[in-house]
Amino acid sequence: MKKIYQVASVTLLMCLSLVMSCENGLEEETFSVYDENVLTKPEHAEQAVRGTYAALKDNGGFGYYAGNLYWLYEYPGDVVTTALTSRQGGQLDQLTYDASNSVLNDVWISIFKLISRTNEAEELISNVDFVGNSSTDQLKNQNLGEVRFLRALGYYDATSLWGNVPLLLKSSSKFTEADENPQMTEQAVVEDAMIADLQFAEQNLPASYPPAEVARATKGAAKALLMRLYMRRGEWQKAVDKSTEIIGTNFDLRTKAEGGIASLFNTANRSDNEFIFVLKSSNEAGAYGVNSNSFGINSTPWDLNRGWGNFPIHLDFYKVFDKDDDRRGLLTGVFKTLYGQVISVPKEYGGIGGAAPDTVAAQFIYNLKYPHVNNYNYAGFNNVTILRYADVLMMRAEALNELNGPNAESIALVNQIRTRSSLPAITLASYPTKEGLRDKIFDERNKEFFMEGRRRDDLIRWGKSATNGSNALAKFKEKVVPTLRSAATYSDAIDYTVFPYPQNEIQSNTSLDASINAGRVK
């Protein structure tokens, strides 16, 4: 942990130096160490904010939200799988991972780099006299709100993946000896800190930014992330109340008249009102936080567009879609390969099939939400969705059902999602029980948010609700075990709601030892 914070602090300052020199010319002074006597201007605070956002794509175009995080959120679920040649991903997919899995280590480092940057930026911004430099405290609080939102996002991911994690809310210059090797903090205490950060953010962030700055956190983003946290905690009324503050503001669904669900993910669609918060991936001149991501090339196979094919999806998932469902068009039901053959989903899985030799039966389907159009170019320039309005509507429907049982509003909210994708509306009479409507909501969530990093959390929350909190893994086991190559891989002695702490962290943090992973690995 000490090493992560040292590296992250230097990296933040390098980001400040790089951005300032690029924007202001070569004569601009640059800094290699933190110096509160030099970094004293509002523009330095702005650069600290930008450097913090950059941590969302840690390690170039495939780290953290640019790719690696989704290995942990999607592989252990029942939709995404791996090819037999995939090693680290295969361990996650087949639940055979342990503390030495490199993806666990990479994501842990990425998250705590982000958290470290937020802490360093918070101190830097706090020490800047905005008013004395012809600016305003309103802008100062906005900058603080942005980095505190990002800190809450980092801790949301950390607690979703590991439960108890170190809670550090200060810059490295304020570290005590105990902070150098931090102990784990109870998840509930970390969540309280997250709530404080998000409440500050929603009070101080603007409702919107210019289109080129769509990737900056807004008031709505803070509310939506807070709502997601309340849902995870089973605090249904708080989630409903927060959704009331979001609905009817700056966000809406992308309608069928606007191109519907498929067009939402088009590379040309940069700032649709359905996006509440995204990792901006754009090569546009002047775009805020210019980034790239590897989603497109990871999501599709070589014979489609020279992709890596790291996220194949089970054929059974294609079968769950109605043939008229527009969302099925975001999967590779049939495509022509680079070599002239046609790959087609067999009829028994809902595809159109086809005869050999010109047509080959698909072994997997692939996700097209992040279209990769630059063959042999490892950068993708399409947004990566982190929070979107459809999720707010579906979370509200779920929370209302948990509070009141089947109700007209939950049905209407689900129908907004269904009819946008050309499906008929469902009726309240068809779902007379809380259990039945809950299952329908999670079925729609699966089809709406596949490969958006939601499935693992959804399965765990679904299990908690279905068992009144007694077995968070009930639905995880029900859905995941049939997809494993060997059902014996699953062990009731393992708590799959949390991952093992990375071996590198255990070895470098003297507060920890191997016993901390008891019950997390075989």
Domains in the chain (CATH in brackets) are 2-205 (1.25.40.390), 309-367 (no CATH)
How confident is the model over 456-479, as pLDDT tens digits?
Answer: 999 999 999 999 999 999 999 999
Q: How confident is the model at residue 288 (pLDDT cuts 50, 70, 90)?
A: very low
What are 202's two structure tokens?
């929603």
The residue assigned the tokens 């997390």 is 520
**Dist CA 325 CA 348 (whole Å):** 17
Which pLDDT value is given to residue 92? 96
**Dist CA 449 CA 425 (whole Å):** 19
How confident is the model over 327-344, as pLDDT tens digits?
Answer: 999 999 999 998 889 999
Q: Are 329 and 345 in contact (CB under 8 A)?
A: no
Q: Are 40 and 145 in contact (CB under 8 A)?
A: no
Cis amide prior to 424 (ω within 30 degrees): no
**Dist CA 180 CA 116 (whole Å):** 12
**Number of neighbours of residue 274 by Cβ within 10 angstroms:** 20
Residue 290 has pLDDT above 50, yes or no: no
Which pLDDT value is given to residue 301? 87
Q: What is the mean pLDDT of the chain?
A: 88
Q: Can you give the pTM of this predicted structure?
A: 0.91
Distance of CA 466 to the CA centre of its chain: 24
What are 31's two structure tokens?
């800094």
Strand pairing report for 359-361 and 342-344: parallel
Q: What is the DSSP string of 403-471?
A: HHSS-HHHHHHHHHHHHHTTPPPP-GGG--SHHHHHHHHHHHHHHHHTTTT-HHHHHHHHHHHHTTTS-
User: For a pLDDT cut of 70, what percent of the chain falls above it?
Assistant: 88
Which pLDDT value is given to residue 120? 95
How confident is the model over 465-522, as pLDDT tens digits?
Answer: 999 999 999 999 999 999 999 999 999 999 999 999 999 999 999 999 999 999 999 8
**Dist CA 113 CA 125 (whole Å):** 18
Which pLDDT value is given to residue 508? 94
Residue 91 has pLDDT above 60, yes or no: yes
Which pLDDT value is given to residue 357? 84
Residue 386: φ, ψ to 5°: -110, -45
Closest CA to 192 of 235, 136, 134: 235
Residue 442: φ, ψ to 5°: -70, -30
**Dist CA 142 CA 82 (whole Å):** 42
Radius of gyration of the chain (CA): 23
Q: What is the mean pLDDT of residues 181-191?
A: 97
Beta strands in 51-141 (DSSP E): none
**Dist CA 449 CA 373 (whole Å):** 22
